[in-house]
Structure 1
């Protein structure tokens, strides 16, 4: 009968290096897959796996629960991979900023957002992170690994040593809590500014992409909208502005204004796609006056509006309330229009 992780940890702490070698071999395959999933490079993944094992060996005495050695080791690897990814993004060649060509008339000031925009982004970031901090610990872990680190639900299940169904349930409950707490928080903030809110239901996947952009986080691999913006840049196509332009039979429609070779063209789009592109292309976002007049609500009405809409969606069995798909795997896409 094979020794348990706890037994091998105890032997390793007593000076049996062969026992630690057995621990490494037992978890090496998952460790490598996890590192390669985050870094996308087999050679780098091998380096990170070895470094994670070294960190684990040197810190083994600080492991509180020897039975959870595997999850502990994977957590070390995730942190090391995150550091490597941050190091990758710390410097950029100027040529990369304009599709491989030297940016014409570039000044460093243009790379920075306006002070007002930067302040609003930091405020929103703080609001979201504070809301996450109020979640139960097991829900915090799932939210951070999925939204901030870009891990799939399957990978989170391996790290948390929990079945996939349990991970999905935790994420679903976390989203419900965040929806309620953020609705109340943002409603108060908008009320203080004397502003109105336009609630629009969008798909879970598109919502994920918006949230990642709003909190200035990126997934380990380029996402669809990031690729679209990069291709537009290479083709010298500029997204000038977007707007939620009309409402027809309770379905919202959006319009993009794009400039191609000096001419501006209008392109129809779903609001979720238009908003995701606008945020990444740093294009202004507008709402048609007639749409605001028909659908905007007071900030203090937002929690009740979301609760009522959610109940109606659940009664109809629509996809909006379903657990999120894995970001790293093909997601089921609904053919229904957005509301």
Structure 2
């Protein structure tokens, strides 16, 4: 089963300075941090903040290409967590046929924001992500998870990196 999620915010990991996208279950307090690259975080932040650029960025190009091919993004799903790497699938429809594309979650999320489609995470991913530590020290991983779950709007800021 897939769980619908919304972007709760973007932040920087205090220990590694790596960008993190925080997804939150729309029906509960469950949060899922996904560490992403700087460029992908920037692409997500631009769309969250509704900032425009003078020329289309890569994810804008993808959106335009999809629409130019008479396709529509239906949803994106973070489907798997394997060897500390998240995997995602972009679900589209073209001429009445379902089309799926393998994607990095950061790219799928950036595209979902641009196409106003829902973001889902597999229930299995949420279960695994809760038990697999992101660092060698599981105590610090659990502290980070608690800290993320207790963030409020002021802690998130305005999606600045």
Interval of TM-score (by shorter of Structure 1 and Structure 2): 0.5 to 0.7
For the 8 Å contact 1:195–1:299, the answer to whether it is kept is no
In structure 1, the residue matched to 2:147 is: 301
- 1:134-213 → structure 2 map (5 Å cutoff): 194-213=28-47
More helix by percentage: 1
Q: String of CA shifts for 1:275-321, please: whole Å, max 9, x gaps.
A: 11111011111000010011147963329xxxxxxxxxxxxxxxxxx
1:229 partnered with 2:75: no
In structure 2, the residue matched to 1:251 is: 85
What TM-score comes out, normalization by structure 2 length? 0.66
- 1:82-161 → structure 2 map (5 Å cutoff): none
- How many residues align structurally? 126
Shifted more, 218-227 versus 271-280: the winner is: 218-227
Q: String of CA shifts for 1:63-111, please: whole Å, max 9, x gaps.
A: xxxxxxxxxxxxxxxxxxxxxxxxxxxxxxxxxxxxxxxxxxxxxxxxx
In structure 2, the residue matched to 1:283 is: 117
Distance 2:117 2:13 in 1: 30
Q: What are the ranges of 5 or more consecutive residues in structure 1 without an aligned counterpart?
A: 1-119, 132-174, 304-323, 325-339
Distance 1:252 1:176 in 2: 17
For the 8 Å contact 1:213–1:280, the answer to whether it is kept is yes
For the 8 Å contact 1:257–1:265, the answer to whether it is kept is yes
CA pair 286-176 structure 1, distance change in 2 beyond 3 A = closer
> Counterpart of 2:98 in 1: which secondary structure?
strand
Larger radius of gyration: 1
Q: What are the ranges of 5 or more consecutive residues in structure 2 without an aligned counterpart?
A: 1-5, 131-141, 150-160
The Cα of 1:261 is off from its aligned counterpart by: 1.0
Correspondence for 2:105 among 271, 296, 299? 271
Q: Which runs of 4+ in 1 moved over 6 A?
A: none
Distance 1:273 1:194 in 2: 25
The Cα of 1:228 is off from its aligned counterpart by: 1.1
Query: What is the CA RMSD across the aligned residues, in angstroms?
Result: 3.4
Q: String of CA shifts for 1:248-279, please: whole Å, max 9, x gaps.
A: 11111001111111010221111111111111
